[in-house]
Amino acid sequence: MERTTQLVGQSSSFLDAVERASRAAPLDRPVLVIGERGTGKELIAERLHHLSSRWDAPLVTMNCAALPETLIEAELFGHEAGSFTGASKSRAGRFEEADGGTLFLDELATLSSAAQDRLLRAVEYGEITRIGASRPIRVDVRIVAATNEHLPRLVEEGRFRADLLDRLSFEVVTLPPLRHRSSDIPILADHFARRMALELEWPNWPGFSTTGLNRLLEYSWPGNVRELRNVVERAVYRWDDSERPIDSIQFDPFESPWLPLPSSSGSPASASGTAPPPAVEILAPSPPSPGGIHDPESCADFRLAIAEYEKAILAAALEKCRWNQRTAAAALALSYDQLRHAMKRHQLMT
């Protein structure tokens, strides 16, 4: 299956990391990939595999944090039938599955001390022993490991074996976070947006408005490229006009004026049963003065005056929120659909 995520970017820090991985790929040595969540560590691992002489052999991935500690060793090294409760038949581990190819160990720092001991022997001697077995099995596996932890610090704290780190750190590729790759943000956003527009069968890609692009550039991206992809794809699929540049960006998909109250009874909000105030304060324009109405027939224009006042409030909110419709809706305690309906009614759609 073709991946829908690729290594995209042109910043020097990103290209340096990719170049380092490319140079290490042909060498049959272990590589550590370090980076925050969402920076593309698995993509670098795939590059290391596909540019190596093992490209036509298996690339086996194991997330060390996804399994309970009691099952990590069985998953890595396999087990014999009856070796523990529930082991009804023999099973090969990830090392045997990756024989001749590459084993990618994600979240390496979460390995238990016992698993680290056995992993060291596998890396050092090229041998593994299934749980419950008496004979070792020879395996030819290249190790690529990834973590978002600073492993030398874990060694100092006694949480990671120094000798295992020495064996795995022939080369270390550290991926820069997206906040230090600001020149790549427009490129990545355009890449993900075009793919989403194609999936939605849009006739053309209108791009982002200046306001929308500036908001993407100003955000800190704690979730890095993975978060950027989610934000961009969400912005495209929620946009209802493929002819106009996308202007509405929502970073937090949980943002809503109707958030559930905290379950804790200690907060004032939960005690009173009232929702927290909007994040943006809207100063509404002053209503028309009743004293200015002298003609009795003007009372027939009551609904028109109310409509004009409502339009002024909407315009003030949109201006305050820089025409971000979802932020304005939250500030006015309206749903997004209610705001859109009111904007259409007052001809405020841009």
Nearest partner of 116 among 65, 83, 72, 171, judged by Cα: 72
Average pLDDT in the 209-234 region? 96
Domain assignment of residue 5, yes or no: no
Per-residue pLDDT reduced to its tens digit, 46-80: 999 999 999 999 999 999 998 887 788 888 998 88
The answer to whether residue 255 sits within a structural domain is: no
Number of domains in the chain: 3
Instruction: Kindly state the average pLDDT of the residues 280-306.
Output: 59
pLDDT of residue 340: 82
The domain of 188 spans 183-238
pLDDT for res 88: 72
Q: Are residues 137 and 20 in the same domain?
A: yes
Residue 324 banded pLDDT, cuts 50, 70, 90: confident
The mean pLDDT value for 243-261 works out to 88
Q: Are residues 53 and 149 in the same domain?
A: yes
Task: Say whether both 226 and 140 belong to one domain.
Answer: no
| CA dist., res. 66 & res. 71, Å (int) | 10
Instruction: With respect to residue 282, please indicate whether it lies within any of the assigned structural domains.
Output: yes
Q: Does 336 reside within a domain?
A: yes
pLDDT digits (tens, 9 = 90+) for 114-172: 899 999 999 999 999 888 888 899 999 999 999 999 999 999 999 999 999 999 999 99
Is the pLDDT at 230 greater than 90? The verdict is yes
Give the pLDDT score at 289: 56
Both 139 and 36 in one domain: the answer is yes
Q: Do 191 and 118 share a structural domain? A: no
Are residues 190 and 145 part of one domain?
no
pTM over 0.85: no
In terms of Cβ atoms closer than 10 Å to its own Cβ (0-12, 13-18, 19+), residue 231 is buried
In-domain check, residue 46: yes
Examine the fold and report which residue of 139, 156, 176 is the final residue of a domain before the chain moves on: 176
**Domain co-membership, 70 together with 210:** no
Q: Which of 31-45, 119-133, 289-303 has the lowest mean pLDDT?
A: 289-303
Cα separation, 139 vs 128, whole angstroms: 7
> pLDDT at position 277, please?
45
Mean pLDDT of the chain: 86
- 263: Cβ–Cβ under 8 A, 6 or more apart, which residues? 270
Closest by alpha carbon to 54, among 22, 21, 25?
A: 25
Alpha carbon separation from 169 to 29, 42, 106 (Å, rounded) = 9, 17, 15
CA distance 109 to 115: 11
Does position 281 have pLDDT exceeding 60, yes or no? no
Instruction: Quick: pLDDT tens for 81-125.
Output: 877 777 778 889 999 999 999 999 999 999 999 899 999 999 999
318: CATH = 1.10.10
User: Alpha carbon 163 to chain centroid distance?
Assistant: 33
Asked whether the predicted pLDDT for residue 3 surpasses 80, the reply is no
Query: What is the domain-level CATH number for residue 202?
Result: 1.10.8.60
**Three-state SS string across the chain, please?**
CCCCCCCCCCCHHHHHHHHHHHHHCCCCCCEEEECCCCCCHHHHHHHHHHCCCCCCCCEEEEECCCCCHHHHHHHHHCECCCCCCCCCCCECCHHHHCCCCEEEEECHHHCCHHHHHHHHHHHHHCEECCECCCCCEECCCEEEEEECCCHHHHHHCCCCCHHHHHHHCCEEEECCCHHHCHHHHHHHHHHHHHHHHHHCCCCCCCCECHHHHHHHHHCCCCCHHHHHHHHHHHHHHHCCCCCCCECCCCCCCCCCCCCCCCCCCCCHHHHHCCCCCCCCCCCCCCCCCHHHCCCHHHHHHHHHHHHHHHHHHHHHHHHHCCCCHHHHHHHCCCCHHHHHHHHHHCCCCC
Cβ contacts of 48 within 8 Å, gap of 6 or more: 21, 24, 25, 31, 102, 144
Among the candidates 176, 199, 224, a domain finishes at: 176
In this structure, the answer to whether residues 20 and 157 fall within a common structural domain is yes
The CATH number assigned to the domain holding 22 equals: 3.40.50.300
pLDDT for 271 equals 44
Q: Which residue has the tokens 């780190």?
A: 165
Are 191 and 140 in the same domain?
A: no
Does 102 lie in the same domain as 68? yes
Task: Enumerate residues 6+ apart whose C-beta is below 8 A from 212.
Answer: 235, 245, 246, 247, 248, 249
